[in-house]
Structure formats: structure tokens, C-alpha cells
Amino acid sequence: MAFPCVAIVKRWRRKTALLAGVALLGALPAEAAVFPGPGEVVGRSLCREVRPGESLIEVARAYDLGFNEIAAANPGLDPFIPPAGTPVAIPGEHLVPAAVAPGRLVVNLSELRLYFVPATGPPLVATFPVGAGSEGKETPPGSYRVMEKRTDPPWHVPASIRREQPRLPAVVLPGPDNPLGSHALRLTDDGLMIHGTNRPWGVGRAVSHGCIRLYPEDIPVLFRLVPVGTPVAIVREPVKVAVQDGRLLIEVHRDDGARIDYAAEATRLILARDALGRVNASRLFRALAEKRGVPVDIGR
């Protein structure tokens, strides 16, 4: 039940340069996902054709999406060698998680995406795809705080990683071999960071040792937005509900780690909006079954 996909030849670029307060951010990447706020729904979904020699990994990065997002939105399409000319869905629209609040940075592990609404200044909603911890090294949900911000951070290799990879030095200096990338935000939990990466293919995947990684072009934007002391909530919200322009929307992500009853959670969120009478049951059940990770209109 993904959004309709009609090939669009002209590439759509988010209008970040037109945002009020853009001077605060400096030069933004063309596809940086920073949107005017406030709002429960941000971004825009669209479609375009696959170009010769292009993989979905490259398409995802061009539109500031994680690999998980583009793969879920295009089931059945080979992510590594998609046929040139094939329409590919660009799932750029997102429902803002319930945990988001002004001044709080939220990482939703269920969708591998980060959200931040600044407490002051022009109303903005910033959202970026992230990579997170792999099985056995999962990123721990909980409440944290940004304790330190560093540019060109050295990587002090944890003992646990050196046991796995004994050839690693005790410290990796800034540069192309440093997995922390160009910027890092250290959280209150010992060793837990939000940082860039020298392996952008890992964004939208659970492949790290627990830290949260962003694309190299995204981390400088987040770094400028987030002050030291910012509270951080790492959550699991596989089901999100929002109302926009009279539409009742649901976004469902497949997250085995959430351990929830999806139907019960959807019902709870819809009831909280006093919108149960507006639901098209067949659309709702299909969205819950497919778990495509894209907003779906479930209104009658």
C-alpha cells in the first residue's frame, strides 16, 4: 500500500534554502531534510526513474533516506542492480513521532530516523536517517543528554572492539579511516555517541557497535542545530498516527525489537485522537500487515 508511483524525470529538491533562519545552519546540502515547522507531517514523497548504473543505495542517499526506507518502499525491486528506467518510490514524507518536543532530540529506532525541533528561533523540524547498533550490540533506548560536541573527533577504540579487531590502534586520528566522521555528539551514557561516518552505506541499517551514525553531509547540519545540554530520547515507535489537512494517516514500520501488538497500538493512537469513527478498516489492516514505513491515508 505504498503511495502511487508515477515516474518524475525532474529531480525534486527540498526548499531548505528558503527556510527562515537559514543563516543559523550555514550552507545546507541540497537534499538536507530540514523543514518549516511546526507540523505532524514533514517532507514529500515522489517517484522518479532509475538511472543507468544506479543502485537504490545511491538513490536513498541523494534524497536523504536510509537504505531501510527505500528498500521497504520498493518491495521486489533489486536494491543493488535495479533495471534502468524502472520507477522507484522516494518515501520522503514522514509522520513526526509522538516523543518529539521542542528542544528534545529523538531517535526512533523503529524507523532508523532522527528528529529534532529547536526550542528557540524559527520553527523547524529537522529529520535525518541514521544507522544504529547491530544484533547483540543494539543501541539502548532511554533518556540521555548531549554532554559534548566535537569537530574532527579522534576515535578512542573501545577494548571490546580491539579484541574483535586486534590490528586497530588505541586511537584513530581524524581522517578518512575514522568511523566517527567529521563531527560527534557525546551522550551521557559512557561511549554512546551520535556521529558521522566513513561508511555511508550503513545509514538505514543496524550495523554499528551501538552508536548512532548519520550521512557525512547530514552530521554538520545537526551539529550546528543541537546545543550542549540537549535532552535526547532514544525510542521505539513502530506505529505513528497523524492528521493533516483532514486526512487520517498511519505509518507502520517493521520492528521486531518493539515487541508490541501493532493493532492494539494503532487503536490506542487513533482513540487518543478521537478518530476511530473515521477509520477505513480495510485500509488500516492492510497498512498494519504490509508495514511499508510510508504514511497511508486510512480515513473513510
- The predicted model gives 267-271 an average pLDDT of 97
Distances 271 to 248, 253, 268, 276 between C-alpha atoms, Å: 12, 20, 5, 6
- The predicted model gives 203-212 an average pLDDT of 91
pLDDT of residue 119: 94
The 10s digit of each residue's pLDDT in 232-249 is: 999 999 999 999 988 999
pLDDT of residue 282: 97
- The predicted model gives 91-101 an average pLDDT of 96
The pLDDT of residue 40 is above 60: yes
Mean pLDDT of the chain: 87
- The predicted model gives 58-76 an average pLDDT of 95
- Greater model confidence, 215 or 174: 215
The pLDDT of residue 43 is above 80: yes
Confidence of residue 153 (pLDDT cuts 50, 70, 90): very high
Q: Which residues contact 126 (CB under 8 A, 6 or more apart)?
A: 33, 34, 35, 115, 116, 117, 118, 221, 222, 225
Q: What is the DSSP secondary structure assignment for residue 289, as one 8-state letter?
A: H
Of 6-15, 112-121, 248-257, the one with minimum mean pLDDT is 6-15
Threshold 0.85, pTM exceeds: yes
Active site residues: 195, 211
pLDDT of residue 5: 60
Of 89-103, 162-176, 188-202, 239-253, the one with minimum mean pLDDT is 162-176
Confidence of residue 2 (pLDDT cuts 50, 70, 90): very low
The pLDDT of residue 6 is above 80: no
The 3-class secondary structure across 176-223, one letter per residue, is: CCCCCCCEEEEECCCCCEEECCCCHHHCCCEEECCCEECCCCCHHHHH
- Greater model confidence, 8 or 99: 99
Distances 209 to 186, 204, 244 between C-alpha atoms, Å: 15, 14, 38
